Structure 1
Amino acid sequence: MMLKKKALYLSYTGLLEPLGRSQILAYLSRLSDEYQFTIVSFEKANDFAEASKVEALREECVSYGIDWQPKIYHHKPRLLATLWDLWVLLQATWTFSHSGRAELVHCRSYIPAIAALLVGKVTKVPFIFDMRALWLDEMIDAGRLDRNSIIHRILVLLETKLLKDAAHVVSLTQAAVDYLQAQQSHLKSQKFSVITTCVDLSKFITRKAENSPKKLGTMGTVISGWYHLDWLFLTLQTQMKKDKDATFKIVTRDSEQALRKLATQYGIEGSKLEIISSTPNDIANNIANIKAGLLYFTSGVSKLGSAPTRMGEFLACGIPVIGNRGVGDMADLIEHYKVGVVIEDGSQQSIDKALASLDSLYQDKNLSERCRNAAETYFSADSGADKYRKIYKSIISHD
């Protein structure tokens, strides 16, 4: 029997959150045949208060041989709370690293990576910097960090050190890797891998194309400042003028009242627009009758590291998408796999052109199958786990 290698996984995202389950446990469960994982995650107090869910998740982890060590996430006051959580991470990383219970530390995002970097100076245990996004740029765009402030300068120095000293760096997108290497020439020799967000393809079934009016739609958070709502409703309005029978759908937990108020400004009647919320388990059924997903995200440096999970979910259902440039690798993927249309901007001319291109795309009988194949190639958890396995083996000796 092969002795499993020991790995410590640090996450500032809770394992009880939908994102934690889909983007952490989905991978580690597949790697648990060769690696004995200890997961240290930070859980929201409300999530951790649900004892039955905590126990169910703990039992699931045990079934994979995973030792789950949950901590409580602190968020106020922001700076002090983050420093406290970092201290907790430092203690946990030291405990497992210096005792020989971790031959590798896998860090999901910046705060865990800082802990691994500092502890690793003493223990010499290598760490993977799984950066997930361009966090500092996201913080600046969200108004949570002032560019060139003292805190920003300290974080930039830490980011540079993390990128340089990590045994391997994982990015959600190739666009982010290209940007980082262009900004810091010394990173051209660093080992980077691109592993995007994953989708549990077993929950998504490709539906056959229908001859019914084209139901355009989207899903996820749209009232956030990160989504072009004006582009969305102008697209729906334009489609409604082209096809009087067209209907639309938004699957979201955002305010229905706010969305309907905006829809009326574009002449979209209540009966034309369906707005529903969905649990993660029901999302496949709730988007099944959408014929094209509209992915209109704000662009910029901070979004170069973004990989919209909802794109993978649409494609897994065989649904093409319309998306814009400047958001990670989204536009490149749409064009490479021919699974939708890339829109240049939110002008009426661009929207008219995109909808006309979508009509032409619908004539391709292989479109739905091609969408599914793209999801299986790029967004599958199996594919992502295989990439992580190669990274682990390149760092830890398997003699």
Structure 2
Amino acid sequence: MADCLHRSGGRCMSRRSPRVGRLKISVPSEHEPGLSVLYITYDGLTDPLGRSQVLPYLAGLTKLGHRIHVLSCEKQAREASDGARIRALCEAAGIGWHPIRYHKSPPILSSVYDMAMLRRAAERLHRRHRFDVVHCRSYIPAMAGLHLKHRQGVRFLFDMRGFWPDERVEGHSWPQINPVFRAVYGYFKSVERRLLRGADHIISLTHAGKRQLLTRAELQIPAPQDAITVIPCCVDFDHFPLTTRDGRQAARRMLGLPQEARVVAYLGSLGSWYMLDEMLDFFRVCLERDANARFLFVTHDAPEPILQAARTRGIGTDRLLIRPASREEVPQFMCAADFGLFFIKPVFSKLASSPTKMGEMLALGLPVVTNSGVGDVAEIVEETGSGVAIDRFDDEAYREALERIDGLSMTPEMHRERALPWFDVELGIARYDRVYRDLAASAG
């Protein structure tokens, strides 16, 4: 991926990045053969999350000797445009890919149908490949995985990715004023209890999420803390090389940003959880300190809602730059920034959230301004010293945060180096490998 980035014009990055303290993964000995693993994901490999949060891990695990097959739900348009490229990547990594069609409508019933298709496909693949472990990303795939465990005795790894039923309620996708959605929420909370009881091991994205899980009655077993491993949303540090001064200048020329301006950057979609209004309020305070500041949004979201929210705050739309980016372009665009910004609603379900954008920003050497009450975000900021985590949303807090971010004395190299123990994808690969092998040992 790094080679592809640099061939595609990523001249704003250094060719090789500091690797101080980076985990080195050794290939297991002949006495530790790899396992046959079925990885089930509701997110497609052709989705951005599939590229960034599924394939890098699985490619690393195949290098450690595991035989990986992926069962994924793919959106028709994305599979048509990117399917050939993803299949080539899988074949190069030695991964078997078995896509099925994702269905969006009608609501709820389409998910039930997809779940049935995943269950049927998982059994068919198991008859052919005889899996040791079924590794399930989130709840709907996990229901198929639990079924495979009960029917075939396959070890079941529940990779939670968050408290999904509570996310649907707190994100207003399942409004509880509607009796249908109340019933759906109740059903999936019962499913959650079955998955927690039935899992041979659980992956939590955050330590905060793990602490919450350890209070659950379903996990009141001997040494429950040993049944949960924390693996955050990790980052391929080769794909997000360290930003250099020359690189920042080149990126600003490419994007048409003033060289002398302070540039704040946001990365990713602006869905239910990301607090656009509060981030624009923060930028309005930033403009008080530097009238020439710019807010760069690297997102595929439509520009107009962002621009309209800025107008209501008296922020000139010429102060904003909104650009979509491919995965290869993201590092090129983001290195134009002085620091990254993201605010997330601090609600219960977000205790289990690990924002991918945080690791990507820190990998580039950018400090971050964010908020507490979300996963391990505040703990990471405090431990690494790579930014500011505010605990309230008002102008005074924003001014204090800007003063603190200006007062940081760490270099980009230090931001990157201190992020490695938290976010390096090689760390995630090593932890998954250990979980796989422990599951195989316990089965014996």
Matched with 2:130 is 101
Q: Check 1:30–1:340 CA distance in 2 against 1; reply closer, same or farther (3 A cut).
A: same
Residue of structure 2 equivalent to 1:340: 387
Q: Which residue of 2 aligns with 1:290?
A: 337
Aligned residue number for residue 230 of structure 2: 194
Are the counterparts in 2 of residues 93 and 115 from structure 1 also a CA contact under 8 Å?
yes
Distance 1:98 1:6 in 2: 12
Bigger mean CA deviation after superposition, 54-63 or 148-157 = 148-157
- Rounded Cα–Cα distance in structure 1 between residues aligned with 2:109 and 2:291: 55
Contact 1:16 1:47 in 2 (8 A): yes
CA contact (8 A) 1:98 1:123 kept: no
Q: Once the 2 structures are TM-superposed, how far is the Cα of residue 297 of structure 1 from its aligned partner?
A: 1.0
Paired residue type of 1:129: F
Name which of 71, 83, 93 aligns with 1:54: 83
The aligned residue for residue 26 of structure 1 is 56
Greater relative contact order structure (CA < 8 Å, 6+ sep) = 2
* 8 A contact 2:34–2:66 mirrored in 1: yes
Q: Is the 8 A contact 1:128 1:166 kept in 2?
A: yes
1:256-293 Cα offsets, whole Å, 9 max, x none, are 22222222332322332222221111011111121111
Letter aligned with residue 273 of structure 1: L
Aligned partners of 1:218 and 1:250 also within 8 Å: yes
Q: Name structure 1 gaps, 5 residues minimum.
A: none
- Whether the 8 Å contact between 1:232 and 1:296 is mirrored in structure 2 is yes
Separation in 2, partners of 1:35, 1:354 = 46
Change (3 A) 1:201 1:341: same
Partner of 2:414: 370
CA contact (8 A) 2:264 2:339 kept: yes
Give 1:165's aligned residue: 198
The residue matched to 2:72 in structure 1 has which SS? strand
- Asked whether the equivalents of residues 97 and 103 of structure 1 are also in contact (C-alpha less than 8 Å), the reply is no
Aligned to 1:387: 431
Counterpart in the other structure of 1:359: 406
* Superimposed CA distance per residue, residues 169-211 of structure 1 (whole angstroms, 9 cap, x where no aligned partner): 0011111111122243616615111111122211222224689
Structure 2 stretches of 5 or more lacking a match?
1-28, 249-258
Q: What is the aligned partner in structure 2 of residue 10 from structure 1?
A: 40
- Name the CA distance, whole Å, in 2 between partners of 1:9 and 1:353: 45
Aligned mates of 1:245, 1:142 — CA distance in 2: 35
Distance 1:266 1:36, change over 3 A: same
Name the stretch that deviates more: 225-234 or 205-214: 205-214
CA 1:85–1:225: 2 relative to 1, 3 Å = closer
Distance 1:299 1:79 in 2: 27
Q: Which residue of 2 aligns with 1:260?
A: 307
Deviation at 1:89, TM superposition (A): 1.5
Asked whether the equivalents of residues 384 and 419 of structure 2 are also in contact (C-alpha less than 8 Å), the reply is no
CA contact (8 A) 2:240 2:331 kept: yes
Choose 254-263 or 276-285, whichever is displaced more: 254-263
Aligned to 1:39: 70
CA contact (8 A) 1:7 1:102 kept: yes
Q: 1:237 to 1:38 in 2, by over 3 A?
A: same
Deviations 1:50-86 (A, max 9, x none): 3xx3233223222222211110011211222112111
Aligned residues of 1:89 and 1:112 also touching (Cα < 8 A): yes
Q: Does the aligned pair in 1 maintain the 2:171–2:273 contact within 8 Å? A: no
Residue 215 to residue 35, structure 1, CA distance change in 2 (3 Å): same
Retained in 2: the 8 A contact 1:320–1:367? Answer: no
Task: Return the offset for 1:311.
Answer: 0.9
User: Does residue 125 in structure 1 map to residue 154 in structure 2?
Assistant: yes
Counterpart code for 1:244: A
Flag the 1:397–1:296 CA change in 2: closer, same or farther, 3 A: same
SS of 1:281's equivalent in the other structure is coil
When residues 65 and 248 of structure 1 are mapped into structure 2, their CA distance, relative to the original with a 3 A threshold, is closer
Q: Deviations over 1:78-99 (max 9, x none)?
A: 2221121111121122223355
For the residues of structure 2 that align with 1:115 and 1:90, how far apart are their CA atoms?
4
TM-score between both structures, scaled by the size of structure 1: 0.92
Shift of 1:255: 2.4
How far does residue 124 in structure 1 lie from its aligned partner after superposition?
1.2
Q: Any idea what SS the aligned residue of 2:407 has?
A: helix
Q: Offset of 1:151 from its aligned partner? A: 2.9
Within the candidate set 321, 331, 349, 1:274 is matched to 321
Q: Counterpart amino acid of 1:37? A: I
Q: State the distance in 2 between where 1:347 and 1:307 align.
A: 24
Identity %: 31
Matched, 1:314 2:352: no
Note closer, same or farther for the CA distance 1:265–1:152 as it changes in structure 2 (3 Å cut): closer
Match of 1:248 in 2: 295
In 1, Cα distance between equivalents of 2:204 and 2:411 = 29
- TM-score with structure 2 length normalisation? 0.83
Match of 1:174 in 2: 207
Count of paired positions: 393
Q: Could you tell me how far 1:313 is from its partner in structure 2?
A: 1.2
**Bigger mean CA deviation after superposition, 177-186 or 110-119:** 177-186
- Say which SS state the counterpart of residue 68 (structure 2) adopts: strand
Match of 2:170 in 1: 141
Structure 1 residue aligned with 2:24: none
User: Could you say what secondary structure the match of 1:258 adopts?
Assistant: helix
Change (3 A) 1:397 1:63: farther
Question: How far is the alpha carbon of 1:132 from its aligned partner?
Answer: 0.7
Q: Secondary structure at the match of 1:196?
A: coil
